[in-house]
């Protein structure tokens, strides 16, 4: 009998280690461009399969939280389109939905398993720390590549059939593309929490990795020269200092909205031109902020800013003409144009509220679940800011097929504070949660 128990314990320990390793390798796939390019999607599917069969499979039949339920509903809404042969995502084709959408949302399920079903905070802390190490390596590789080839990240993000030789070279160098830069932007704001609020709780080796990650991410983001990424960091940094909860964010946004209506456009234009001058040595950022400033100073229909606004309007108007099922649904007109530059508006234009409502309910219940988890922790304010900026980003950029961003938002951002917890002291973990798991699961 005792031998049987020991054998069972050994098997359980081995299964746990394999499960942990599979999760770490998935995190590496999403956060280390050098590894992802060489491994490919098939290897990720292998890792996920190993991870799934080594979980406590009972979690698949237990009561799911509402964000998981609506994630399932969201994918079910595409079945009628698949059956009728109308499953498309504009000119990008069906692979966006069949491949990239699942990659975008897979982090929700992995996070739920460890954080709310198993309550294995120690494993999550280890996963978070190792993910930061992967980010440090990937951002250093990307930074080196960008110093040699400033447009490398943008070239990687171009469509199939363009710059293939250059893409191959940059991929071999481990340079991250559009998705990697923006995923790094959101994780950067999370890392700030560890440096400012929780630095005293970190042991020396963790402090070292966190600091290296912070520096390498910042250097890479600045070198990549994505104007929106820079704006997310600047605005996120300011919001983190002032926003402590959702109510405060709403009040601040209303105040800023009123302020923008009262401030003369010329003043706003000059403000952005001054920012452009700060980056006078960086042509790309300087051009973006100059263009934004000039759009306030003069009624220019040819500026990049005005062009993007027209694209957003195009998608929104298409949605209004076919609000229920979009252009690919019954009585839809597939030839109706969409702008292709807004994650949420484009999806509404393609598939209407039929798919749009489950999507937004995923966000609502997932964010709410994590808000309740960190209700008594200062990270609550960070989550409010990061999730708000994520929603804004998805409004002004195509994001649903940028799977790195989805994985970071749903899997990694919610577990960053767990790096600093002393898991030998169970009370310290419970004090972080603020509410019991049953209440979280019900919302």
Listed residue (206, 176, 174, 178) closest to 191, CA to CA: 206
Distance between alpha carbon 424 and the CA centroid of its chain, in Å?
31
Listed residue (128, 132, 124, 127) closest to 215, CA to CA: 132
pLDDT tens-digit series, residues 129-165 = 999 999 999 999 999 999 999 889 989 887 766 788 8
**Residues 88-95: what's their mean pLDDT?**
86
pLDDT for res 431: 45
pLDDT tens-digit series, residues 163-198 = 888 888 998 899 999 999 999 999 999 999 998 865
pLDDT for res 74: 97
Is the whole-model pTM more than 0.85? yes
pLDDT tens-digit series, residues 223-240 = 998 888 999 999 999 999
Candidate ranges 2-11, 292-301, 370-379; pick with highest mean pLDDT? 370-379
pLDDT for res 239: 92
| 220 φ, ψ (degrees, to nearest 5) | -65, -45
pLDDT for res 435: 43
pLDDT tens-digit series, residues 260-294 = 777 777 777 787 788 778 777 776 777 777 777 77
Listed residue (387, 384, 361, 380) closest to 433, CA to CA: 380
Residue 298 has pLDDT above 80, yes or no: no
pLDDT for res 204: 81
Distance between alpha carbon 175 and the CA centroid of its chain, in Å?
19
**Residues 362-366: what's their mean pLDDT?**
97
- What's the pLDDT band for 33 if we cut at 50, 70, 90? very high
Residue 438 has pLDDT above 50, yes or no: no
């Amino acid at each position: 009998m005792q031998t049987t128990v020991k054998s069972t314990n050994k098997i359980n320990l081995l299964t746990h280690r394999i499960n942990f390793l599979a999760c770490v390798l998935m995190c590496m796939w999403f956060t280390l461009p050098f590894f992802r390019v060489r491994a490919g999607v098939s290897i990720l599917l292998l890792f996920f399969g190993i991870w799934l069969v080594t979980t406590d499979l009972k979690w698949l039949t237990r009561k799911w939280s509402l964000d998981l339920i609506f994630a399932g509903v969201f994918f079910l809404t595409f079945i009628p389109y698949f059956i009728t042969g109308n499953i498309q995502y504009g000119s990008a084709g069906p692979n966006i939905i069949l491949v990239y959408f699942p990659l975008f949302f897979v982090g929700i399920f992995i996070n739920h398993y460890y954080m709310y079903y198993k309550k294995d905070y120690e494993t999550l802390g280890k996963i978070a720390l190792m993910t930061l190490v992967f980010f440090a390596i990937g951002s250093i590789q990307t930074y080196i590549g960008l110093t040699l080839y400033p447009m490398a990240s943008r070239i990687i993000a171009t469509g199939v059939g363009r710059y293939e030789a250059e893409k191959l070279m940059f991929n071999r160098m481990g340079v991250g593309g559009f998705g990697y830069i923006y995923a790094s932007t959101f994780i950067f704001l999370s890392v700030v929490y560890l440096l400012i609020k929780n630095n005293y709780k970190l042991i020396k080796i963790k402090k070292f990795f966190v600091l290296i990650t912070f520096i390498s991410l910042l250097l890479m983001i600045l070198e990549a020269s994505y104007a929106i990424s820079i704006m997310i960091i600047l605005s996120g940094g300011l919001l983190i200092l002032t926003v402590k909860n959702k109510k405060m964010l709403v009040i601040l946004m209303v105040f800023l909205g009123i302020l923008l209506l009262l401030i003369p456009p010329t003043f706003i234009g000059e403000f952005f031109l001054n920012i452009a001058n700060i980056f006078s040595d960086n042509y790309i950022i300087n051009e973006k902020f100059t263009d934004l400033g000039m759009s306030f100073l003069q009624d220019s229909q040819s500026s990049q800013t005005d062009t993007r606004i027209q694209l957003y309007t195009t998608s929104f108007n298409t949605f209004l003409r076919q609000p229920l099922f979009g252009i690919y649904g019954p009585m839809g007109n597939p030839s109706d144009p969409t702008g292709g530059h807004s994650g949420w508006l484009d999806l509404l234009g393609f598939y209407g509220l039929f798919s749009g409502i489950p999507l937004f309910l995923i966000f609502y219940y997932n964010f709410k679940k994590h808000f309740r988890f960190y209700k008594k922790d200062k990270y609550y304010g960070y989550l409010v800011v990061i999730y708000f900026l994520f929603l804004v980003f998805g409004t002004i950029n195509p994001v649903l097929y940028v799977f790195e961003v989805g994985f970071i938002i749903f899997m990694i951002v919610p577990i960053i504070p767990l790096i600093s917890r002393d898991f030998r002291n169970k009370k310290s973990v419970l004090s972080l949660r603020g509410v019991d798991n049953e209440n979280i699961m019900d919302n």
